[in-house]
Each structure stands twice: as structure tokens, then as C-alpha cells.
Amino acid sequence: MTDLLPPEFDRRTVDAEGVRIHARIGGDGPPVLLLHGYPQTHLIWHHVAPLLAAGHTVVLTDLRGYGDSDKPRSGPDHAAYAKRSMARDQVLVMRELGFDRFAVVGHDRGGRVGHRLALDHPGAVTALAVLDIVPTRHAFRHADADFGLGYYHWYFLAAGDGIPEHLIGADPAFWVRTRMGARHQDGTPFSPQALDEYVRCFSDPAAIHATCEDYRAAASIDLVHDDADAAQGRRVTCPLLALWGEHSFVGRHYDVLDVWRAYAEDVRGQALPCDHYVPEEAPARTAELLAAFLPAAP
């Protein structure tokens, strides 16, 4: 197990109603929860977390199904990997650590979990930052040929009959390294140790299956929840910061702030000179913008 975080980041395993979530905690000040994306772990924040820890208590977790967190089996409705279930894990983790209110920063899948967390638990979230995403509902509802080619993995990973599990399982290192390498441009290179850790965790067949379930949920039960919110006029009420890579698919195909303003009441943000993996490609600027946005100590 590779550890790129400073030793003051304590390691914890927190029981979230029977699902063990792997967590790291460091720093001092207002609490902020950092959530990673696919196909990574909490180590995507290894540059950013120590910078934020100068003024915040920083909690990093592996989402259920990822890293060293539990990987529960899911039924035919994929509810175990609905963003509602994944978000509830994180609320329970933060409560167990003593934080009833906290900020959330999520990249990629973690941003989708953060979006659901802010909708389902508005009293818990003081601020939300989403990195290189637009809402799942918007992406699917406006999908075209460019989206299908650029985000083909959404459809591949959501396929049934064990097809993606079988194909990825034949060479998980190839899948992780090529998937990430194809979405990196002009930024800080990936840490070889971080890549090795992503491969280590993703080489577990249970992780491959669980992360496919994450995408199957996104294409099914998550849309049911999102459509219900839209019908009821529910939006994110806390301040929302959107950051994205100017070279990423998101940056090239969406008016990111305009899209988020249909889903949140208080939106601001900007592009950074990178592709998809914002916290690893542009860590110093990411940390600077997050520190300016997140609630500060009184």
C-alpha cells in the first residue's frame, strides 16, 4: 500500500451502517470532505489535501466500491451504488468523526456523490465544489455522438451480463493507465506511486464489479432520483464552486456555469489549464481556489 500523504494524516476505518469506509484525516479548522472519482482512490488528493490542511480539517475517503472501502454486492436495481447510498455513507462517516456540518469537494464520481449529498442532506453541507463534471441528468439528457465517443465508458461500464467486468479483469492495469492517460494534458504528471496504487486497488475483481455498478446506477436509479428532484424544483442551496479543465470534454462541450445554475442557487467557478484530472494536473491552483471558496475559521 503506497502512502503519498504526510504522516499526520491519520488512517481510519469507519463503519457506515455495515459498510466500512476507509478514511484519512489531517489538519485543523473547518471540516471539508474530499471525494475522488473513477478509477481512483482518496490519493487523487495527495497534492491538494496537505495544502488545504493548513486551514481546514481535511477528511479523505474511498467511496464504497473503491480503494480500501467495502464493496457490497448490489441487486438488480443497482441501489447499493445509487449516489443516494454512497452519499449517506459519507454523512455517516462525518458524523462518526464528529462533524455534523462540513464542506464537500468532489471530483468526477465524487462530485456526483457530493451533488446528491447536498440535495439529500442540505443541513449538513456548508459548501459544495464539483470538479470537471456537469450533472448526470444533464449529461444523459443532452447526449449526442460527441458525448458517446468521449464518454463511451459510461455506456461500456453500465453494460450487463458481466461484460465490462470480464474484459477489464483481463488486464486492469492497462485499463486504468490508458483511461487516465487519455484524459491528461499540459498539467502536472501523474505520480507513478499513485498510479500503482490505483492499479493495486482496481485489480480486485470486487472493485471492478462495484465500480461498474456505480455506472449502472448512474444510468438507472440515479436518474429516477434526479428526475424526481427536478419535478419538485429541488436545487442545491449552499454555495457551489465548479472547476473544470479547459482541455477536458466538459470544458470543451458545455457552458459549465450555465448548466449548474439550473441545478444550484449560488454558482461560481472557472476553467483551469488542464484536462480531466484537475486535482492531480493543476494541484496548486486547485488548492488556491478551494481555499478561497471554502468556509474559513471565524
Distances (CA, A) of 192 to 2, 62, 151, 178: 10, 19, 25, 14
Distances (CA, A) of 135 to 47, 62, 145, 218, 255: 26, 21, 18, 11, 12
**Nearest of 235, 240, 296, 248 to residue 275 by alpha carbon:** 248
Q: Which helix (H) or strand (E) holds 201?
A: helix 192-202
Catalytic position from the list 108, 132, 229, 275: 108
C-alpha cell at 270: 472557472
Q: How far apart (Å, rounded) are the C-alpha atoms in residues 131 and 136?
A: 13
Residues 6+ apart with CB under 8 A from 124: 91, 94, 100, 101, 102, 117
- Tell me the β-bridge partners of 65: none
- DSSP 8-state class, residue 44: G
Q: Catalytic annotation on 146? A: no
Q: Catalytic annotation on 276? A: yes
Catalytic residue numbers? 108, 276
